[in-house]
Amino acid sequence: MSGISFTGIGSGMPVQDLVSAFVEAERVPFQQRINKQGSKLTTNISANGSLKASLSSLADSLDKLKDAENYQLRKASGSDDFVKIESDKTAQVGSYDIKVNNLAQAHKVMSTPFDETLAVGEGKLTFSTPDDPTGFTLDISATDTLSDIRDKINESTDNEDVTATIITDSGGQQSLVMTSNNTGLDNKLSITATQSDGTTPLDPSSRLNDLLTYIDPASRSGDPLVESNLIETNAALDSSITIDGQITLTNATDTFENAIDGITLTAKKAQDVDDGNSKVSVSEDNALVAKELGAFVKSYNEYYKVAKELGQAGEAGGGPLAGDSMLRGITGKLRNMLSQSFDSGSGNTLSLAQLGVESDQYGVLSLDSTILNKVIAEDPSAVQQFFVGDDSTPGFAASTDTLIANYTESGGLIDSRINGYETQLDKLEDDMTAFNRKMENYEARLLSQYNAMDMLVANMNSTSSYLMGQLDNMPGVVKKTS
Protein backbone atom coordinates (compact mmCIF):
# COMPACT_ATOMS: atom_id res chain seq x y z
CA MET A 1 0.00 0.00 0.00
CA SER A 2 1.32 3.45 -0.90
CA GLY A 3 2.82 5.45 1.99
CA ILE A 4 3.81 2.38 4.05
CA SER A 5 7.41 1.13 4.19
CA PHE A 6 8.74 -1.97 5.90
CA THR A 7 12.31 -1.41 7.00
CA GLY A 8 14.84 -4.18 7.66
CA ILE A 9 13.01 -6.88 5.68
CA GLY A 10 15.84 -7.48 3.26
CA SER A 11 18.74 -7.31 5.69
CA GLY A 12 17.02 -8.29 8.93
CA MET A 13 18.54 -5.24 10.65
CA PRO A 14 16.40 -3.09 13.10
CA VAL A 15 16.62 -0.04 10.84
CA GLN A 16 14.06 2.11 12.73
CA ASP A 17 15.76 1.46 16.05
CA LEU A 18 19.15 2.32 14.58
CA VAL A 19 17.88 5.56 13.05
CA SER A 20 16.14 6.59 16.30
CA ALA A 21 19.32 5.91 18.26
CA PHE A 22 21.39 8.07 15.93
CA VAL A 23 18.83 10.92 16.08
CA GLU A 24 18.63 10.79 19.88
CA ALA A 25 22.41 10.82 20.10
CA GLU A 26 22.30 14.17 18.31
CA ARG A 27 19.19 15.52 20.01
CA VAL A 28 19.85 14.82 23.71
CA PRO A 29 23.05 16.89 24.23
CA PHE A 30 21.56 19.86 22.40
CA GLN A 31 18.25 19.61 24.29
CA GLN A 32 20.07 19.40 27.63
CA ARG A 33 22.14 22.46 26.80
CA ILE A 34 19.05 24.43 25.75
CA ASN A 35 17.14 23.38 28.88
CA LYS A 36 20.04 24.37 31.12
CA GLN A 37 20.38 27.78 29.49
CA GLY A 38 16.60 28.32 29.55
CA SER A 39 16.37 27.35 33.22
CA LYS A 40 19.13 29.78 34.11
CA LEU A 41 17.50 32.61 32.16
CA THR A 42 14.10 31.91 33.75
CA THR A 43 15.69 31.91 37.20
CA ASN A 44 17.39 35.24 36.45
CA ILE A 45 14.11 36.77 35.27
CA SER A 46 12.34 35.59 38.43
CA ALA A 47 15.16 36.80 40.70
CA ASN A 48 15.25 40.25 39.12
CA GLY A 49 11.47 40.42 39.32
CA SER A 50 11.63 39.67 43.04
CA LEU A 51 14.31 42.34 43.48
CA LYS A 52 12.19 44.91 41.64
CA ALA A 53 9.07 44.05 43.65
CA SER A 54 10.97 44.42 46.93
CA LEU A 55 12.48 47.75 45.89
CA SER A 56 9.10 49.01 44.69
CA SER A 57 7.58 48.16 48.08
CA LEU A 58 10.41 50.07 49.76
CA ALA A 59 9.74 53.07 47.51
CA ASP A 60 6.01 52.94 48.34
CA SER A 61 6.86 53.23 52.05
CA LEU A 62 8.46 56.61 51.28
CA ASP A 63 5.41 58.14 49.56
CA LYS A 64 4.03 59.93 52.61
CA LEU A 65 7.43 60.74 54.11
CA LYS A 66 8.42 62.73 51.01
CA ASP A 67 5.18 64.78 50.98
CA ALA A 68 5.37 68.02 53.00
CA GLU A 69 1.59 67.98 53.46
CA ASN A 70 1.96 65.10 55.93
CA TYR A 71 4.05 67.05 58.44
CA GLN A 72 3.03 69.37 61.28
CA LEU A 73 -0.58 68.29 60.97
CA ARG A 74 -3.35 69.35 63.32
CA LYS A 75 -5.71 67.17 65.30
CA ALA A 76 -9.17 68.51 66.05
CA SER A 77 -11.10 67.21 69.03
CA GLY A 78 -14.33 68.04 70.82
CA SER A 79 -16.93 66.93 68.27
CA ASP A 80 -20.18 66.12 70.07
CA ASP A 81 -23.94 65.96 69.48
CA PHE A 82 -24.05 69.68 68.66
CA VAL A 83 -20.98 70.42 66.56
CA LYS A 84 -18.41 68.64 64.41
CA ILE A 85 -14.89 70.02 64.08
CA GLU A 86 -12.31 69.40 61.34
CA SER A 87 -8.96 71.09 60.80
CA ASP A 88 -6.09 71.31 58.33
CA LYS A 89 -2.42 72.06 58.94
CA THR A 90 -3.01 75.84 58.74
CA ALA A 91 -5.05 75.77 61.97
CA GLN A 92 -3.41 77.23 65.02
CA VAL A 93 -3.21 75.28 68.26
CA GLY A 94 -5.93 76.45 70.64
CA SER A 95 -9.34 75.79 72.19
CA TYR A 96 -12.74 77.36 71.57
CA ASP A 97 -16.19 77.58 73.13
CA ILE A 98 -18.96 76.99 70.55
CA LYS A 99 -22.70 77.49 70.93
CA VAL A 100 -25.11 76.43 68.18
CA ASN A 101 -27.99 78.90 68.20
CA ASN A 102 -29.98 77.31 65.40
CA LEU A 103 -29.52 75.17 62.31
CA ALA A 104 -30.10 76.33 58.75
CA GLN A 105 -33.57 75.61 57.43
CA ALA A 106 -35.12 75.37 53.97
CA HIS A 107 -38.18 77.48 53.17
CA LYS A 108 -41.36 75.41 52.94
CA VAL A 109 -44.90 76.56 52.10
CA MET A 110 -48.23 74.76 51.71
CA SER A 111 -51.42 75.73 49.88
CA THR A 112 -54.90 75.58 51.29
CA PRO A 113 -56.85 72.43 50.21
CA PHE A 114 -58.01 72.06 46.60
CA ASP A 115 -60.44 69.61 45.11
CA GLU A 116 -58.50 66.90 43.28
CA THR A 117 -60.19 67.56 39.92
CA LEU A 118 -60.42 71.36 40.20
CA ALA A 119 -58.73 73.38 37.43
CA VAL A 120 -56.63 75.97 39.24
CA GLY A 121 -56.65 78.70 36.62
CA GLU A 122 -54.72 79.94 33.61
CA GLY A 123 -51.60 82.12 33.81
CA LYS A 124 -47.84 82.28 34.21
CA LEU A 125 -46.30 81.09 37.49
CA THR A 126 -42.83 82.40 38.39
CA PHE A 127 -40.48 80.97 41.06
CA SER A 128 -37.37 82.80 42.31
CA THR A 129 -35.12 83.25 45.36
CA PRO A 130 -32.76 86.03 46.50
CA ASP A 131 -29.91 83.80 45.37
CA ASP A 132 -31.60 83.20 41.99
CA PRO A 133 -33.68 86.31 41.26
CA THR A 134 -34.36 85.32 37.63
CA GLY A 135 -35.72 81.91 38.57
CA PHE A 136 -38.02 80.15 36.13
CA THR A 137 -41.55 80.60 34.77
CA LEU A 138 -44.24 78.00 33.99
CA ASP A 139 -47.21 78.28 31.66
CA ILE A 140 -50.33 77.07 33.47
CA SER A 141 -53.23 76.11 31.22
CA ALA A 142 -56.90 76.63 31.97
CA THR A 143 -57.37 72.88 32.59
CA ASP A 144 -54.35 72.23 34.84
CA THR A 145 -55.10 70.70 38.21
CA LEU A 146 -52.89 70.85 41.29
CA SER A 147 -51.22 67.57 40.20
CA ASP A 148 -50.45 69.03 36.78
CA ILE A 149 -48.80 72.06 38.38
CA ARG A 150 -46.75 69.81 40.66
CA ASP A 151 -45.48 67.85 37.66
CA LYS A 152 -44.64 71.01 35.70
CA ILE A 153 -42.61 72.35 38.64
CA ASN A 154 -40.63 69.16 39.13
CA GLU A 155 -40.07 68.46 35.43
CA SER A 156 -38.97 71.95 34.44
CA THR A 157 -35.41 71.86 33.08
CA ASP A 158 -34.88 75.42 34.35
CA ASN A 159 -35.85 74.54 37.92
CA GLU A 160 -32.96 74.33 40.40
CA ASP A 161 -34.70 75.96 43.35
CA VAL A 162 -37.85 74.13 44.42
CA THR A 163 -39.42 70.69 44.81
CA ALA A 164 -43.19 70.23 44.81
CA THR A 165 -45.30 67.46 46.29
CA ILE A 166 -48.97 66.90 47.14
CA ILE A 167 -50.52 65.94 50.45
CA THR A 168 -54.00 64.40 50.26
CA ASP A 169 -56.19 64.49 53.37
CA SER A 170 -58.69 61.84 54.43
CA GLY A 171 -61.47 63.72 52.63
CA GLY A 172 -59.62 63.61 49.30
CA GLN A 173 -58.68 67.31 49.37
CA GLN A 174 -55.18 68.12 48.12
CA SER A 175 -52.57 70.67 49.24
CA LEU A 176 -49.51 71.59 47.19
CA VAL A 177 -46.29 71.68 49.25
CA MET A 178 -43.34 73.61 47.80
CA THR A 179 -39.89 73.31 49.45
CA SER A 180 -36.71 75.17 48.62
CA ASN A 181 -33.94 72.86 47.49
CA ASN A 182 -31.40 74.76 49.61
CA THR A 183 -31.32 76.11 53.14
CA GLY A 184 -30.83 79.70 54.25
CA LEU A 185 -32.39 83.13 53.84
CA ASP A 186 -30.91 83.55 50.36
CA ASN A 187 -32.99 80.58 49.23
CA LYS A 188 -36.36 81.81 50.49
CA LEU A 189 -39.02 81.09 47.87
CA SER A 190 -40.82 83.88 46.02
CA ILE A 191 -43.80 82.71 43.96
CA THR A 192 -45.64 85.25 41.78
CA ALA A 193 -48.05 85.05 38.83
CA THR A 194 -49.58 86.98 35.98
CA GLN A 195 -52.14 86.25 33.33
CA SER A 196 -50.92 84.42 30.21
CA ASP A 197 -49.64 87.61 28.59
CA GLY A 198 -46.98 87.86 31.27
CA THR A 199 -47.86 91.39 32.42
CA THR A 200 -51.51 91.65 33.39
CA PRO A 201 -52.27 90.88 37.07
CA LEU A 202 -54.34 87.82 37.79
CA ASP A 203 -58.08 88.13 38.11
CA PRO A 204 -59.04 88.11 41.83
CA SER A 205 -61.18 85.02 41.21
CA SER A 206 -58.27 82.94 39.86
CA ARG A 207 -57.22 80.25 42.30
CA LEU A 208 -53.63 80.70 41.18
CA ASN A 209 -53.68 83.47 43.79
CA ASP A 210 -53.77 80.71 46.43
CA LEU A 211 -50.36 79.40 45.30
CA LEU A 212 -48.44 82.68 45.55
CA THR A 213 -46.15 84.06 48.22
CA TYR A 214 -46.92 87.55 46.92
CA ILE A 215 -50.22 88.61 45.33
CA ASP A 216 -50.29 91.74 43.22
CA PRO A 217 -52.73 94.26 44.82
CA ALA A 218 -54.70 94.28 41.57
CA SER A 219 -55.32 90.55 42.05
CA ARG A 220 -56.30 90.73 45.72
CA SER A 221 -59.81 90.28 46.94
CA GLY A 222 -60.78 91.27 50.43
CA ASP A 223 -58.23 92.75 52.82
CA PRO A 224 -55.38 94.27 50.73
CA LEU A 225 -52.94 93.52 53.58
CA VAL A 226 -53.28 89.77 53.04
CA GLU A 227 -50.43 89.05 50.64
CA SER A 228 -50.70 85.26 50.48
CA ASN A 229 -52.99 82.41 51.30
CA LEU A 230 -50.02 80.00 51.56
CA ILE A 231 -49.15 78.51 54.92
CA GLU A 232 -45.46 78.84 55.82
CA THR A 233 -44.61 75.53 57.51
CA ASN A 234 -40.84 76.21 57.68
CA ALA A 235 -39.31 79.67 57.61
CA ALA A 236 -36.07 80.10 55.69
CA LEU A 237 -33.27 80.30 58.26
CA ASP A 238 -29.53 80.74 58.23
CA SER A 239 -27.49 78.61 60.59
CA SER A 240 -26.12 80.58 63.56
CA ILE A 241 -23.25 79.85 65.96
CA THR A 242 -21.51 81.93 68.63
CA ILE A 243 -17.76 81.52 69.24
CA ASP A 244 -16.33 82.18 72.71
CA GLY A 245 -19.52 84.03 73.65
CA GLN A 246 -18.45 87.06 71.60
CA ILE A 247 -18.76 86.53 67.86
CA THR A 248 -21.95 85.29 66.20
CA LEU A 249 -21.71 83.90 62.69
CA THR A 250 -24.47 82.99 60.24
CA ASN A 251 -24.40 80.89 57.12
CA ALA A 252 -26.86 79.53 54.56
CA THR A 253 -25.74 75.99 55.41
CA ASP A 254 -24.74 74.32 58.67
CA THR A 255 -21.06 74.22 57.67
CA PHE A 256 -18.75 77.12 58.55
CA GLU A 257 -15.47 76.89 56.64
CA ASN A 258 -12.52 78.89 57.98
CA ALA A 259 -14.67 80.71 60.52
CA ILE A 260 -11.51 80.05 62.52
CA ASP A 261 -8.35 79.80 60.38
CA GLY A 262 -7.90 76.23 59.17
CA ILE A 263 -10.98 74.95 61.03
CA THR A 264 -14.29 73.78 59.60
CA LEU A 265 -17.24 73.73 62.01
CA THR A 266 -20.46 71.90 61.20
CA ALA A 267 -23.53 72.62 63.32
CA LYS A 268 -25.44 69.40 64.05
CA LYS A 269 -28.05 70.40 66.64
CA ALA A 270 -29.12 73.60 68.36
CA GLN A 271 -28.26 73.85 72.06
CA ASP A 272 -31.09 74.49 74.49
CA VAL A 273 -30.78 76.74 77.52
CA ASP A 274 -29.86 73.79 79.72
CA ASP A 275 -27.23 72.44 77.30
CA GLY A 276 -23.63 73.39 77.89
CA ASN A 277 -21.56 74.89 75.11
CA SER A 278 -19.30 72.68 73.02
CA LYS A 279 -15.60 72.73 73.89
CA VAL A 280 -13.41 72.13 70.84
CA SER A 281 -9.66 72.26 70.49
CA VAL A 282 -6.82 71.91 67.98
CA SER A 283 -3.49 70.30 68.84
CA GLU A 284 -0.36 69.27 66.95
CA ASP A 285 -0.47 65.81 65.38
CA ASN A 286 2.81 64.29 64.23
CA ALA A 287 1.82 60.64 64.72
CA LEU A 288 1.88 60.09 60.96
CA VAL A 289 5.65 60.65 60.79
CA ALA A 290 6.39 57.93 63.35
CA LYS A 291 3.93 55.56 61.67
CA GLU A 292 5.38 56.04 58.20
CA LEU A 293 9.00 55.88 59.36
CA GLY A 294 8.16 52.60 61.08
CA ALA A 295 6.68 51.35 57.81
CA PHE A 296 9.89 52.32 55.99
CA VAL A 297 12.04 50.45 58.53
CA LYS A 298 9.87 47.35 58.07
CA SER A 299 10.03 47.58 54.27
CA TYR A 300 13.80 48.04 54.31
CA ASN A 301 14.26 44.96 56.49
CA GLU A 302 12.09 42.95 54.09
CA TYR A 303 14.16 44.22 51.16
CA TYR A 304 17.40 43.39 52.97
CA LYS A 305 16.18 39.83 53.62
CA VAL A 306 15.28 39.35 49.95
CA ALA A 307 18.61 40.84 48.82
CA LYS A 308 20.57 38.47 51.12
CA GLU A 309 18.69 35.43 49.82
CA LEU A 310 19.18 36.45 46.19
CA GLY A 311 22.86 37.23 46.62
CA GLN A 312 23.81 34.48 49.06
CA ALA A 313 27.07 32.67 48.21
CA GLY A 314 28.32 29.40 49.61
CA GLU A 315 29.54 25.90 48.86
CA ALA A 316 26.12 24.42 49.52
CA GLY A 317 24.66 26.54 46.74
CA GLY A 318 24.26 30.25 46.20
CA GLY A 319 21.37 32.54 45.45
CA PRO A 320 20.39 33.27 41.83
CA LEU A 321 22.12 36.68 41.98
CA ALA A 322 25.23 35.61 43.91
CA GLY A 323 28.07 37.92 42.95
CA ASP A 324 25.71 40.16 40.96
CA SER A 325 27.19 43.66 40.64
CA MET A 326 23.82 45.45 40.39
CA LEU A 327 22.51 43.81 43.55
CA ARG A 328 25.67 44.75 45.44
CA GLY A 329 25.48 48.27 44.03
CA ILE A 330 21.89 49.05 45.05
CA THR A 331 22.34 47.52 48.51
CA GLY A 332 25.53 49.52 49.07
CA LYS A 333 23.91 52.76 47.92
CA LEU A 334 20.94 52.20 50.23
CA ARG A 335 23.22 51.56 53.20
CA ASN A 336 25.10 54.77 52.42
CA MET A 337 21.77 56.66 52.24
CA LEU A 338 20.79 55.31 55.67
CA SER A 339 23.93 56.70 57.28
CA GLN A 340 24.01 60.00 55.38
CA SER A 341 23.14 63.35 57.03
CA PHE A 342 20.67 65.69 55.36
CA ASP A 343 19.91 69.37 55.83
CA SER A 344 17.42 70.09 58.62
CA GLY A 345 17.39 73.89 58.30
CA SER A 346 19.20 76.76 60.01
CA GLY A 347 22.56 75.32 58.96
CA ASN A 348 21.98 72.06 60.85
CA THR A 349 21.75 68.45 59.69
CA LEU A 350 20.06 65.27 60.87
CA SER A 351 20.57 61.57 60.23
CA LEU A 352 18.31 58.58 60.69
CA ALA A 353 20.37 57.54 63.69
CA GLN A 354 19.53 60.84 65.40
CA LEU A 355 15.86 60.09 64.75
CA GLY A 356 16.06 56.74 66.52
CA VAL A 357 16.73 54.43 63.55
CA GLU A 358 19.44 51.93 64.50
CA SER A 359 21.13 49.05 62.67
CA ASP A 360 22.26 45.85 64.38
CA GLN A 361 25.37 43.80 63.50
CA TYR A 362 23.44 41.99 60.77
CA GLY A 363 22.22 45.17 59.07
CA VAL A 364 18.63 44.91 60.34
CA LEU A 365 17.00 48.24 61.24
CA SER A 366 14.90 49.15 64.30
CA LEU A 367 13.14 52.34 65.37
CA ASP A 368 13.26 53.89 68.83
CA SER A 369 9.99 55.87 68.89
CA THR A 370 10.94 57.65 72.11
CA ILE A 371 13.95 59.29 70.45
CA LEU A 372 11.94 60.15 67.33
CA ASN A 373 9.04 61.71 69.23
CA LYS A 374 11.45 63.79 71.31
CA VAL A 375 13.08 65.24 68.19
CA ILE A 376 9.68 65.91 66.60
CA ALA A 377 8.42 67.67 69.72
CA GLU A 378 11.52 69.87 69.87
CA ASP A 379 11.66 70.86 66.19
CA PRO A 380 9.02 69.43 63.80
CA SER A 381 10.23 71.73 61.01
CA ALA A 382 13.70 70.16 61.17
CA VAL A 383 12.22 66.67 60.83
CA GLN A 384 10.16 67.78 57.83
CA GLN A 385 13.22 69.37 56.21
CA PHE A 386 15.27 66.20 56.78
CA PHE A 387 12.77 63.95 55.03
CA VAL A 388 11.37 66.28 52.35
CA GLY A 389 14.06 68.89 51.71
CA ASP A 390 13.32 71.34 48.92
CA ASP A 391 13.62 71.57 45.13
CA SER A 392 17.33 72.42 45.25
CA THR A 393 18.28 70.04 48.07
CA PRO A 394 16.05 66.95 48.31
CA GLY A 395 15.75 65.33 51.74
CA PHE A 396 16.23 61.71 52.76
CA ALA A 397 12.87 60.40 51.55
CA ALA A 398 12.97 62.24 48.23
CA SER A 399 16.60 61.27 47.57
CA THR A 400 16.07 57.61 48.43
CA ASP A 401 12.96 57.47 46.26
CA THR A 402 14.94 58.90 43.31
CA LEU A 403 17.71 56.34 43.87
CA ILE A 404 15.27 53.43 43.85
CA ALA A 405 13.40 54.78 40.81
CA ASN A 406 16.57 54.40 38.69
CA TYR A 407 16.19 50.65 39.15
CA THR A 408 12.42 50.15 39.31
CA GLU A 409 10.91 52.65 36.87
CA SER A 410 9.55 51.43 33.54
CA GLY A 411 12.54 50.98 31.26
CA GLY A 412 14.92 51.25 34.24
CA LEU A 413 17.96 49.12 35.00
CA ILE A 414 16.03 46.07 36.19
CA ASP A 415 13.56 46.18 33.30
CA SER A 416 16.48 46.41 30.85
CA ARG A 417 17.98 43.29 32.38
CA ILE A 418 14.72 41.35 32.31
CA ASN A 419 14.09 42.37 28.69
CA GLY A 420 17.57 41.12 27.78
CA TYR A 421 16.92 37.76 29.42
CA GLU A 422 13.57 37.44 27.69
CA THR A 423 15.21 38.18 24.34
CA GLN A 424 17.71 35.37 24.99
CA LEU A 425 14.84 33.02 25.89
CA ASP A 426 13.12 33.87 22.62
CA LYS A 427 16.36 33.07 20.77
CA LEU A 428 16.61 29.71 22.53
CA GLU A 429 13.10 28.89 21.36
CA ASP A 430 14.05 29.83 17.81
CA ASP A 431 17.21 27.70 18.05
CA MET A 432 15.18 24.75 19.32
CA THR A 433 12.67 25.11 16.48
CA ALA A 434 15.48 25.22 13.91
CA PHE A 435 17.20 22.20 15.53
CA ASN A 436 13.98 20.16 15.46
CA ARG A 437 13.67 20.82 11.72
CA LYS A 438 17.29 19.74 11.32
CA MET A 439 16.61 16.51 13.23
CA GLU A 440 13.55 15.77 11.11
CA ASN A 441 15.67 16.10 7.95
CA TYR A 442 18.45 14.05 9.52
CA GLU A 443 16.03 11.26 10.46
CA ALA A 444 14.51 11.23 6.98
CA ARG A 445 17.99 11.07 5.40
CA LEU A 446 19.08 8.18 7.61
CA LEU A 447 15.89 6.25 6.92
CA SER A 448 16.38 6.75 3.20
CA GLN A 449 19.98 5.55 3.36
CA TYR A 450 19.25 2.50 5.50
CA ASN A 451 16.22 1.57 3.43
CA ALA A 452 18.37 1.78 0.27
CA MET A 453 20.96 -0.46 1.95
CA ASP A 454 18.24 -2.84 3.04
CA MET A 455 16.91 -3.07 -0.52
CA LEU A 456 20.43 -3.66 -1.87
CA VAL A 457 20.99 -6.48 0.60
CA ALA A 458 17.62 -7.95 -0.34
CA ASN A 459 18.57 -7.86 -4.04
CA MET A 460 21.95 -9.43 -3.34
CA ASN A 461 20.34 -12.21 -1.33
CA SER A 462 17.87 -12.82 -4.12
CA THR A 463 20.69 -12.98 -6.72
CA SER A 464 22.70 -15.32 -4.50
CA SER A 465 19.76 -17.68 -4.13
CA TYR A 466 19.19 -17.69 -7.89
CA LEU A 467 22.83 -18.44 -8.66
CA MET A 468 22.98 -21.24 -6.14
CA GLY A 469 19.89 -22.76 -7.70
CA GLN A 470 21.41 -22.60 -11.20
CA LEU A 471 24.67 -24.14 -10.06
CA ASP A 472 22.82 -27.01 -8.43
CA ASN A 473 21.15 -27.88 -11.76
CA MET A 474 24.32 -27.80 -13.97
CA PRO A 475 25.51 -31.20 -15.41
CA GLY A 476 28.60 -32.66 -13.84
CA VAL A 477 28.21 -30.84 -10.67
CA VAL A 478 28.77 -33.17 -7.76
CA LYS A 479 26.33 -32.70 -5.04
CA LYS A 480 27.47 -33.04 -1.53
CA THR A 481 25.79 -35.90 0.22
CA SER A 482 25.47 -36.58 3.86
User: What confidence tens digit (pLDDT) does each residue in 402-441 have?
Assistant: 999 999 998 889 888 888 888 888 888 888 888 888 878 8
Residue type for 108, please? K
Q: Cα–Cα distance between 209 and 194 in angstroms, integer?
A: 9
> Is 0.95 surpassed by the pTM of this model?
no
In the prediction, which pLDDT does 368 show?
94
Query: What does the pLDDT read at residue 43?
Result: 81
Question: Using an 8 Å Cβ cutoff, are 229 and 112 in contact?
Answer: yes
In sequence order, the 6+-apart residues with CB closer than 8 A to the CB of 439 are 23, 26, 27
Beta-bridge partners for 281:
77, 95
Beta bridge partners of 284: 74
Cα angle value 447/449/455 (rounded, 5°):
100
Angle between helical axes of 287-311 and 369-378 (0-180°, round to 10)? 140
Q: Report which DSSP code applies to 203.
A: P
CA-CA distance, 271 to 252, in Å (whole number)? 18
- Quote the CA–CA distance of 216 and 221 in Å, as a whole number: 10
Q: Comparing 1-10, 125-134, 138-147, which segment has the lowest mean pLDDT?
A: 1-10
pLDDT at 314: 65
Q: For 75-99, how does the pLDDT look when each residue is reduced to its tens digit (9 = 90+)?
A: 888 899 999 999 888 888 889 999 9
Radius of gyration of the chain (CA): 47
Terminal alpha carbon distance of the chain: 45
Give the per-residue pLDDT at 318: 77
> Which residues, in sequence order, are bridge partners of residue 358?
366
Give the model's confidence band at 2: pLDDT under 50 very low, under 70 low, under 90 confident, else very high.
very low
Please give the Cα distance from 459 to 480 (Å, whole number): 27
- HSE on the CB side for 367, CA within 13 Å? 19
C-alpha to C-alpha distance for 140 and 127, rounded to whole angstroms: 13
Q: Is the pLDDT of residue 226 over 70?
A: no
Q: At what angle do helices 396-408 and 413-473 cross, to 10 degrees?
A: 20
Q: Span 133-159, mean pLDDT?
A: 96
